[in-house]
Structure 1
Amino acid sequence: MTSIASRDSVAKGRFLPFALPPALQADSVSRIEARSLELQRAADAARLFCLEHLEVSFDDKSGALWSFMRSKGRPSYSLALLDDIHAMQDGIVARFGGQPTELRYLVAGSRSPGVFSLGGDLDLFATCIRNKDRQALIDYGKSCVRVLHRFHSALDLPIITIGLAQGDALGGGLESLLSFNVVIAERNAKFGFPETLFGLFPGMGAYSIVSRRTNAAFAEEMMLSGRTYTADEMKQAGLVHIVVEPGQGIDAAKEYMLRSQSRHAGIRAVYDVGRRVNPMPLDELDDIVRIWADCALKLSDRDLRLMQRLVAAQNRLPKQLQAAE
């Protein structure tokens, strides 16, 4: 007969004649975790080409993954678009991470005529500021800088990244564009950080990237002046690499990839060295996001009215573009 003490030990799992030894238990847990990770990677890879706010395609001949933002409404970084960009990044790593020679280039552009991206979701910012919701601002900013940081590191894959600006890149749109190895711009595109117009500053990578690619003085000039720059001015500053005529951006990206195929390893290595010599840590970007959020909460009612007028102008833009087509 089993004693009460024995039954208690069995109930509490201290004595189980069929229990696995600790080493086998750990091995079983590891197998379960590995299987779970495998299933998650498969799901990420399957989703890569089925995103609502991104058009993604792969050209196996050139080894190029093409991605174009498809904004519904004003062409800015909504939460839904950010979620899709995160999903695309996860999908690229899941699909190509184990095949280092298959993917060679990542090209990012936009399907909004005349616009690469107008940047952050100003409507969301205004709502968060009025509600004094600092955490929501920080969460949004951290989502943005994680997108930027992964593109800046080329997703830790042996690829060359290409940002394709067939239209204006402003605020957060310019920050994200500058995270790519090579920036191609059509000549009619405009660039700048207009946040100072309503008392804010671009807090999701602008200073970090521009100061590293040029110098701190030029980064501050761009951020504090609020002026817009032409594609040629951006090339002269070293922030745009190739300027082409309107409508020639996609062909220019294809030509660049064809021209660089034989030197792919060497070119990619130079960008790897650049990140090693001048790293851009994620905690630096996170610290700046917190400064940005605190600055945003100090905006006046007048600043918020200016922000809302800009939102209204951005909301009209898709309709104007549709009418012009």
Structure 2
Amino acid sequence: MAVGRIPAGKHLNRNRLALGPDAQEIAKTTHWSLLRDADAIAWLVLDRAGESTNTLSEPVMTELETLLGQVEALQPKGLVLRSGKPGGFIAGADIRDFAGVSQTDVVEGRMTQAHALIDRLAALPMPSVAVVHGHCLGGGLELALACRNRIAVEGAVFGFPEVLLGLHPGLGGTFRLPALIEPLEAMKMMLTGKSVHTAKARRLGLVDAVVEERHVVNAVKAAISGELKPTKRGAGLSRFSFYRGLAARKMRSMAAKRAPEEHYPAPHRLIDLWEHHGAGKKEVMQKEEIHSFARLLTGETAQNLIHVFFLRESLKAGGKGASGIAHVHVIGAGTMGGDIAAWCAARDLRVTLSDLDEQALAAAIGRAGKLFDKRLHSGVARRDASDRLTPDFAGDGVKQADLVIEAVAEKAEVKRKVFGMIAPLMKKDAILATNTSSIPLKELRTAVPFPERLLGLHFFNPVARMELVEVVSHDRVSDAALARLAAFCGSIDRLPALVKSSPGFLINRVLTPYLTEAFVMLDEGVQKETIDQAAVSFGMPMGPIELADRVGLDICLEVARTMQSGLDIALPDVPGWLESMVAEGRTGRKAGRGLYTYDRNGEPRKSTKYPEPHSAITDRLILPMLNTCVTCLREGVVGDEKTLEGAMIFATGFAPFRGGPLRYARTRGVEEIVGALERLQAQHGDRFKPDPHWRKLPAN
């Protein structure tokens, strides 16, 4: 039976979510149910039909307006807003309603109607309570803010992630949140997009009570009766314009470091709103919020970031399903192997980690503890994660593991030797995955008797921050093993990008011309800070010189050699100084010195005096990446544009506000890109020769 056809009360009961005793359904729409319990309290339950998660679409809001009218006529003792989804409250607006929007006046009209509805909820003559479990984000939080009280079920998460879409809150969040909690904390939540968990939400005053699910009904009764007093921290010094001006200047300075205004205007418009209207009349702030939100939504940055949101959803969909993987054995306790093991343990998997070096094992366990402290939000969760991660010097875990991940040195002969030792010990249905960053699997599969269960599983550094994982197939891999490994990525909250085995796979294949061109420019005498600034100004998270140090110059050298020997493409020769630096141990950030030297915090020491980059430098870095993306599409290294675009954004940080490399190319103009490549080819050689597939790209 479809969820939409189950009465809300039964659905809540089935998922052990509390509802008032003897609640009777008195109205039902497609997405909402209105119930009344024995204490004359109305329960308005959202259970969006045909969706796994509640979001606020236009039909959802229209139905809410109708039911609020019934609530006003019913005059219950109080109103409770709940979700019928076991996963959470409301995840925000339905982003599908935002894509392709271009008319500012139309957006303003729609938002004005939505505000009138939220205001109507806030003005109800009876007490209103939002009961929140799971996620409560964006428009969902704005709906909860319109209620008199908010009760959180232990484990709830609250946030305003709109800034990640190039927006700021648009349903009253910009004025209701600062009016409820300390304004600077409110601005921090909205400017960073970071969520706060239950305990912090209570400390901030965002919620009035935190309860276990079994105590929800009693907490609701206390709220309706007035025993649970609403929390309100007040505006404090923020009511003074002088104070807001000082705070706004500091906010702008911090925002500019993370999100330059020319690329990401939303944080700066939010600061403007708060500085100029934060202590004025609510009606003025509301009008300005609507106007600012509409202009941002119809702007290029927001539309590109919405495109990126759907790219992420597409990759995420590839990780659905059951993997059957409960025990992971990782071989190699270096930075990558140790961090992969820690991440899997933090995501509820049993993990054994082996290495021939006991000190490396100890260091990896130490790093894992720091990860758990940072990422897990309770002592119990941290303890359980530590219990799931077992140092395994003898390597016995390989016999019980459902998945064995090899993360040893990036040398084919070393990996083949490891495979030969462990293959006879593995379970008959276990998957063997290599974390190689560039070695074609056909060079490795000869070392195992089951090539159909050997795949690539290429994580990126740092593992805890980089969402994308390349799942690498070859022509003898089984579909079942490929599907299981993709589902495994989904189970550990990672985005699987399915690519075919080829030197460098997708990401390193695309990054190699980017890095090697930077090395060529170094040889030409261009200052490294100038090169890096050209990339950062374009929108990359860091420049190619710093990236090479971050990846490790030894890894860069091995990848470059693999690419040169395995592909018939024009690449610059590996510079002699790179080989010398690696031989001397100057391998980059991990060694404390590479192309830059690094301080004790791992930050590069850069000169503040360098020539400003010009557009020719930017094109020499960026256009070879775009050209290689098109080559990978033509060769079938990646199956479709969505996977390519998403992989580039979530693995390399390719300027998200540009929407992806091919979206950028189309915005700039494919013919213009091809012409620029041809000019660079005439000036610098065939490594810039445009791929013939440019002419076959669809217009959209």
Match for 1:304: what amino acid? Answer: I
Cα separation, partners in 2 of 1:62 and 1:282, compared to 1, 3 Å:
farther
Q: 1:83 aligns with which of 57, 62, 76?
A: 62
Alignment correspondent of 2:198:
231
In 2: Cα distance, 1:190 partner to 1:133 partner:
33
Q: What does residue 114 of structure 1 align with?
A: 87
2:306 partner amino acid: L
Calculate the TM-score normalised by the size of structure 1: 0.68
Residue 473 of structure 2 corresponds to: none
Unaligned runs of 5+ in 2: 1-24, 235-278, 323-490, 492-700
Q: C-alpha separation between the residues in 2 aligned to 1:109 and 1:318?
A: 27
Q: TM-score with structure 2 length normalisation?
A: 0.33
Structure 1 gaps of 5+ residues are 1-46, 97-102
Q: 1:127 aligns with which of 90, 100, 116?
A: 100
Partner of 1:54: 32
Aligned mate of 2:163, from 196, 208, 217 = 196
State the match for 2:43 in structure 1: 66
Aligned residue type for 1:70? D
8 Å contact from structure 1 (residues 141, 204) kept in 2: yes
Q: Which residue of 1 aligns with 2:74?
A: 95
1:274-302: per-residue Cα shift (whole Å, max 9, x none)?
Answer: 9xxx9974554233111100111223353
Change over 3 Å in CA distance of 1:107–1:133 after alignment to 2: same
Relative to structure 1, is the Cα distance of residues 177 and 230 closer, same or farther in structure 2, using a 3 angstrom cutoff?
Answer: same
CA change 1:83–1:318 in 2 (3 A) is farther
* Deviations 1:204-225 (CA, angstroms, capped at 9, x unpaired): 1112111101233122101111
Worse overlay, 79-88 or 66-75: 66-75
Q: In structure 2, what is the equivalent of residue 295 of structure 1? A: 296
Q: Partners of 1:260 and 1:127 in 2: how far apart?
A: 42
How far apart, CA to CA, are the structure 1 residues paired with 2:321 and 2:169? 27
Kindly tell me: are residues 259 and 110 of structure 1, through their superposed partners in 2, closer, same or farther at Cα, counting changes over 3 Å? closer
Partner Cα distance (1:112, 1:258) in 2: 22
Structure 1 pair 51–94 and aligned structure 2 pair: CA distance change class (3 A): same
Describe the superposition over 1:44-92 as per-residue Cα deviations: whole angstroms up to 9, x where unpaired.
xxx9713221111112x31200111011224210111101100011111
Deviation at 1:110, TM superposition (A): 0.6
Query: Does the C-alpha gap of structure 1 residues 309 and 184 become closer, same or farther in structure 2, counting only changes over 3 Å?
Result: farther
Which residue of structure 1 lines up, in the alignment, with residue 108 of structure 2? Answer: 138
* Partner Cα distance (1:318, 1:111) in 2: 22
Secondary structure of the 1:126 match is coil
**Mapping for residues 1-325 of structure 1, pairs under 5 Å:** 49-59=27-37, 61-72=38-49, 73=51, 74-96=53-75, 103-128=76-101, 132-153=102-123, 155=124, 157=125, 159-245=126-212, 247-248=213-214, 251-252=215-216, 254-259=217-222, 264=226, 281-282=282-283, 284-300=285-301, 302-309=304-311, 312=314
Residues 308 and 139 of structure 1, relative CA distance in 2, 3 Å threshold: farther
CA distance in 1, matches of 2:54, 2:318: 11
Distance in 1 (CA, whole Å) between partners of 2:41 and 2:309 is 38
Aligned amino acid, residue 50 of structure 1: K
Aligned length: 250
In structure 2, C-alpha distance between the alignment counterparts of 1:135 and 1:243, rounded to whole Å: 41
1:115 to 1:312, Cα distance in 2 relative to 1, 3 A: farther
**Which amino acid in 2 is paired with 1:52?**
T
What one-letter code is carried by the residue in structure 2 that aligns with 1:109? R
Aligned residue type for 2:174: Y
Distance 1:242 1:173 in 2: 18
Residues 129 and 223 in structure 2, CA contact (< 8 A), matched pair in contact too: no
Equivalent residue, structure 1, for 2:441: none
Counterpart residue identity of residue 175, structure 2 = S
Structure 2 CA distance, aligned partners of 1:183 and 1:317?
A: 34
| Contact 1:200–1:299 (Cα < 8 Å) also in 2 | no
Q: CA deviation at 1:233?
A: 0.7
Contact kept? 2:79, 2:127, Cα under 8 Å: yes
Secondary structure at the residue paired with 1:49? strand
- Partner residue, 1:8: none
SS at match of 1:77: coil
Aligned partner letter, 1:294: R
Partner SS for 1:120 = coil
| Higher Rg of the two aligned structures | 2
Q: Which amino acid aligns with 1:285?
A: Q
Asked if the contact 1:75/1:117 (under 8 Å) is kept, the reply is yes
Against the structure 1 CA distance between its residues 318 and 62, is the aligned structure 2 distance closer, same or farther, given a 3 Å change threshold? Answer: farther
AA aligned to 2:48 is S
SS in 2 for 1:68: strand
In 1, Cα distance between equivalents of 2:104 and 2:149: 34
Alignment CA distance shift 1:49-1:319 (3 Å): farther
> Secondary structure of the residue that 2:27 maps to in structure 1?
coil
- Percent identity of the aligned residues? 21
